[in-house]
Structure 1
């Protein structure tokens, strides 16, 4: 199989995307650590639970929502339980299922961290983009996400924009493009 190498413009776009996303998440991680002594992963778990009905979710659903494998989520939840911010609650009579439930102390942690985090997200992304650029970013994100995961999986993950979750148009060959 011949590789379809990226042309110069595609290579610049790819590397710009990688650099921007790495810088963004690195900065958000540092900000959360400095301001709230939380990792981005812990903040994501606590936030998802703070928004869930009853401040709890099945572990499998929470793993999908945070895009974690179950083992990673289980280890993180164990640490958050030890911190007193979550508790595990058995589900059903067989006890095989579990809920992760946000405690009052965990809710306090989220409420303290959220204003600064949201302000940083606003400053790093939304204040820099025009409304049209924000719309295009949402559309591009939807196309990329739906090319990676099926709509049903994205829905289970809590995909925020179902109307944007449409498959990308099939790729057509570009005349004159050469592989390198």
Structure 2
């Protein structure tokens, strides 16, 4: 179990360092852009984006403000209730994510996937999805 704790601490730091160095984009910003790119209409309510990124609402607000200043995200009032805010991925934000994606893929491959050489990666992916609570079909 000590190894798992170490991976949980080290892997995000390594990925963040590589993304900043190679792509000029911190992991928190990459992750926010990624979740927005996968959302319907490329938008999420700020609280849903915070949950997806495992950030507090104030934390995701700071990230979104930085992204908004770059023109990669816009904040718009929620049409459903007019009280909340949605973060909306712009075309420039999607292009920025696409430029950073090869770096993200390479660092995850080098620092995680390559250590499972010879293993059944489909089973590993399924197990990780279960741990993360992602795919209800995998939960049993």
TM over 0.5, shorter chain: yes
Q: TM-score range by the shorter chain?
A: 0.7 to 0.9
Answer whether contact 1:89 1:100 (CA < 8 A) is retained. Answer: yes
Displacement, 1:141?
A: 6.3
State the TM-score, normalized to the length of structure 1. 0.68
| Distance in 2 (alpha carbons) for counterparts of 1:134 and 1:44 | 23
1:17 aligns with 2:13: no
The 8 Å contact of residues 126 and 134 in structure 1, kept in 2 or not, is answered as no
Query: Considering only CA atoms, is the larger Rg found in Structure 1 or Structure 2?
Result: 1
The structure that is helix-richer by fraction is 2
Query: How far is 1:89 from its partner?
Result: 1.0
Cross-structure match for 1:132: 120
Deviations 1:9-68 (A, max 9, x none): xxxxx2211122222111101100001111111100011111222211111221111121
Q: Which residue of 1 aligns with 2:69?
A: 82
Q: How does 1:57-68 map to 2 (within 5 A)?
A: 57-68=44-55
Residue 35 (structure 1) aligned to one of 1, 16, 22: 22
Unaligned runs of 5+ in 2: none
TM-score (norm 2): 0.85
What residue ranges of structure 1 are gaps of 5+ in the alignment?
1-13, 146-153, 167-180
